[in-house]
Chain A
Amino acid sequence: MDTLERKTTNPSVAEGATLFVEMNGIVKRFPGVLANDHVDFVLRHGEIHALLGENGAGKSTLMNVLAGLYRPESGTILVKGKVVNFSSPRDAIKAGIGMIHQHFMLVPSQTVTENILLGLDKPRFRLQLNEYDHIVADLSERFGLKVEPRAKVWQLSVGEQQRVEILKMLYRGTDILIMDEPTAVLAPQEIEDLFKTLRAMVAEGKSIIFISHKLHEVMAIADRVTVLRKGKVTAAGLDARKTTLQELARQMVGREVIFHLDKKLNTPGEIVLEVEDVCAENDKGLQALNGLSLDVRAGEIVGLAGVAGNGQRELAQVITGLRRCTDGCVILNGEVICNRSALVGIQRGVSHIPEDRTGVGTAPDLSVTDNVIMKQYRRPPIAQHGMLNMQVATKFANELKESYDIIVPNVETPVRLLSGGNLQRVILAREISGQPSLMVAVQPTRGLDVGAIEGVHRLLLSQRESGAAILLISEELEELLSLSDRVYVIYEGRIMGEVKIGAGGSSPEMIDTVGLMMTGTPLEQIRKGEAERNV
């Protein structure tokens, strides 16, 4: 039977268009979760198809099935009209399907060319890197993916590393490219470059599946959109030009989302945190912070924007006493707290919401109770004559469970069994219950679904109202601009400039300015450029 002419029951498939991929009735189950519940998905030739959904909606699972990483329990997959049955990513690549994961699959110590050649049969023995460097350079020019073939991957920015991943797939002759949240790690200008590349690829007849939960981006790049919610398709193959942001949001979360937070006007008080000319090294012994200064006042949220890996992690560690600074100092309420210990910070009222929730934020195998008392156990009432009073601790944990909506059977449950959102609530409960004077929150909403994000935002705003100084480090520009009173931009361990956000919220010009600073243009230079243009 000729599958191309086969009548399809899927209403989203327009007559006459060539089908690249047809997934029918895909079911994929994980222990306790039905990740894909009879999902249909159709990809046409030469289109950018966005797969939209909240975290945990089953987008990545569906695409991992298509890329040969997972095997579905039931359902059929047709690629270019032929039924396929992949048992590994290698099979999928052979059929022309390549997936770029959120975590890049690149070997940092090898060159760009080496990474592209990895796992192939040619060259047979001798690497002949000079020859292959040229081939890679030609390929990167053809698709506008600027990258130096001889550079080692660890020397590249995240955006460049993504280009290497794309090149790797193009080199293997992939014509169906799956990208899992490709913009999460990019600066605004880099996103624009990526979109240009994607359009160039489509012009050459390739198809792209774009997994995302960012509505604006989906509207900007996609030809068609398929929306998933809780493992089911809620909208199949909508024409992106004929739909609206609000419509997509409704399909995605099942209710209208509030895009504007209820942020009350607040006059900031005394300076709580002062960071003065701080220098620090990263784990590799390279300079990560180069004379960075900033301050945070009581009752304000100060955002720190920047592309990942520009010193945000190191700054948070210096402030919370987890990393030594080689120069400069950190002052909390008039007292020097840097290069002392994490305990000094905790006793002076520093709370820390770390990026790594299971490694730094919690002890995964310990119970909710043990995790929430970690900053209180030294003091009464939990400490009594050098012993822990577990009755008081359990009562305390139960109170937090109630007031922070931690969904867990009982407080003796090990926290490793909790979902991302619940785990973050455990951390927030512990950090806020100590009534901090300074809060350092690093990526507090990363990986959480929309509902949980809203909860975290509300808690941060209520801390602001109760007079805490909050340093919010995030890669989500939207989040920073809507929550913060001021935003600093960090680039290569330096502050590029500061943007004040008034009562009116953020403006498009503000976003452009922050974006330019994130890619390394200092604020004075941007201002100067504007002034010249106005003259």
Chain B
Amino acid sequence: MQAIINILQAGVASGTVLLFATVGELFAERSGVLNLGVEGMMLIGAMSGYSVALATGNPWLGVLVAMLAAGLLSQIHAFIAITLQADQVVSGLALTFLGAGISLVLGEGLSKAGTVSLLPSASIPLLSQIPFLGPIFFKEQSYLVYIGYLFVPMAWYYINRTRPGMHLRAVGEYPAAADALGINVYRLRYLYVFIGGVLAGLAGATISLAVSPGWFSEMTTGGQGWIAVGLVIFAQWDPFRAAVGSYAFGALRRLILDIQGPTMLLGMRNPFYYNPYWGFFLQMLPYAFTIIVLVIGSREAVRKRLGAPAALGNPYIRGERGL
């Protein structure tokens, strides 16, 4: 029982990384811009956050810089996709390579640079006493995990129940209609791509300063940016579903790591311990899932049925009919 609680507790922390990245991408896609550069932006965030925390001793300053750095990087994609109206898939892929490249060069030597003060954790009184759920969600979790809990309903409320959220949806669904009523489509799309970048940067800093601290070059994120892109489709562009998916995948990641530890499993020899190939197979699963979701989700008809923003991936050109 305690083992299960431990795995789920670590899973929630690990899922918080996916949560920020997924909801960030969800904002960008809701405005009609597909940004496949999440992985690159997360790496920039993880690297810059870690190095600022190392230099200043203040992890919160690290988080702030991580968010700004990734937000800045996202604006390259915004310029190419929104102003130059180029193909968003190509530009997003390029952004991943660019982000990875920059962070590997600037992060050279960072992995053995010494220890860094991490983001604080805390237990919530009373709530952490709830049997089973208490220790999973409210015991010894990083502050960022709690911020994640508050963030999801706020994101949902913002998108569905506020005026700026309504404008966000309109711009992603039918930009011509929004434009005709005086909404600045380009400005809003820049803004939400920026917010997506900021949240990807936060996700990166969550890894390097809280969940699995340190800088391990591209292994720091280990493809979680791609899982986030897949989760947005899985979540059907809804923050609550995104949260469910993120925590489930966080828990799965922990389970895959932890299941390879013990020599005995359920009274039998643990195949994941004795045979490394079984472990590799397990590690592959989240990525296999992501590939399947992305392939299925790339079909126009399926996307429509899932409720994708109608103008997702289409640059807006004023005066052209339709989307």
Contact = CB atoms under 8 A, between A and B. Distances in A.
Interface of A: 88-90, 93, 101, 103, 105-110, 114-115, 117-120, 123-127, 129, 283-285
Contacts of A108: 173-174, 310
Nearest to A101: B180
A126 B162 contact: yes
A107 B170 contact: yes
Nearest to B307: A109
B101 to A, nearest CB: 37
Nearest to A286: B305
9 contacts: A90-B181, A105-B176, A109-B173, A109-B307, A118-B166, A118-B170, A125-B164, A129-B161, A283-B301
Contacts of A114: 166
A118 B164 CA distance: 10
A411 B174 CA distance: 38
A227 B321 CA distance: 26
Contacts of B305: 284-285
Contacts of B164: 125
Contact of B177 (A93, A105, A285): A105
Given A109-B307, A110-B169, 15 more contacts: A89-B181, A89-B182, A90-B181, A93-B182, A103-B322, A105-B181, A106-B174, A109-B173, A109-B310, A110-B173, A118-B170, A123-B163, A126-B161, A126-B163, A127-B162
Contact of A103 (B170, B181, B321): B321
A115 B169 CA distance: 11
Interface in B176-207: 176-178, 180-183
A126 B154 CA distance: 12
B182 A110 contact: no
Interface of B: 161-164, 166-167, 169-170, 173-174, 176-178, 180-183, 301, 304-305, 307, 310, 321-322
A119 B169 contact: no
Contacts of A109: 169, 173, 307, 310
Contacts of B180: 89, 101, 105
Contact of A127 (B161, B177, B301, B322): B161
B27 to A, nearest CB: 16
Given A103-B321, A107-B170, A119 B161 contact: no
A127 B304 contact: no
Contacts, number: 70
A107 B181 contact: no
B177 A107 contact: yes
A127 B170 CA distance: 14
B177 A118 contact: yes
A119 B321 contact: no
For A88, A107, A129, A285, which residue has the most chain B Cβ atoms within 10 angstroms? A107
Nearest to B170: A107
Given A109-B169, A118-B170, A283-B301, A124 B163 contact: yes
B48 to A, nearest CB: 32
B321 A283 contact: no
Contact of A107 (B162, B163, B178, B307): B178
A93 B180 CA distance: 10
B173 A118 contact: no
Majority SS at the chain B contact face: helix
B311 to A, nearest CB: 10
Contact of A117 (B161, B163, B178): B163
Contact of A105 (B161, B174, B307): B174
A129 B157 CA distance: 13
A165 to B, nearest CB: 10
A93 B163 CA distance: 20
Nearest to B174: A107
A126 B322 CA distance: 29
Contacts of A89: 180-182
A118 B162 contact: no
A64 B230 CA distance: 43
A363 to B, nearest CB: 19
A28 to B, nearest CB: 14
Contacts of A126: 161-163
A167 to B, nearest CB: 13
A120 B161 CA distance: 15
A354 to B, nearest CB: 17
Contacts of A106: 174, 177
A7 to B, nearest CB: 37
B169 A88 contact: no
B173 A127 contact: no
Nearest to A104: B177
A107 B169 CA distance: 9
The 9 A-B residue pairs with the shortest CB-CB distance, nearest first, are A119-B181, A90-B182, A105-B177, A107-B174, A105-B180, A107-B173, A107-B170, A119-B182, A119-B183
Contacts of A103: 321-322
Nearest to A103: B321
A84 to B, nearest CB: 17
Given A89-B182, A103-B321, A119-B181, A284 B304 contact: yes
Nearest to B305: A285
Contacts of B307: 109
Contact of B304 (A110, A124, A283): A283
A105 B304 CA distance: 19
A103 B119 CA distance: 53
A186 to B, nearest CB: 20
A118 B174 CA distance: 12
Given A118-B181, A119-B182, A125 B167 contact: no
A109 B169 CA distance: 9
A129 B161 CA distance: 8
B166 A117 contact: yes
Contact of B163 (A88, A101, A127, A284): A127
Contacts of A129: 161
Nearest to B165: A127
A110 B309 CA distance: 11
Nearest to B301: A283
Contacts of B163: 117, 123-127
A105 B174 CA distance: 8
Contacts of A120: 181
A323 to B, nearest CB: 11
A109 to B, nearest CB: 5
Contacts of A115: 177
Contacts of B167: 118-119
A127 B310 contact: no
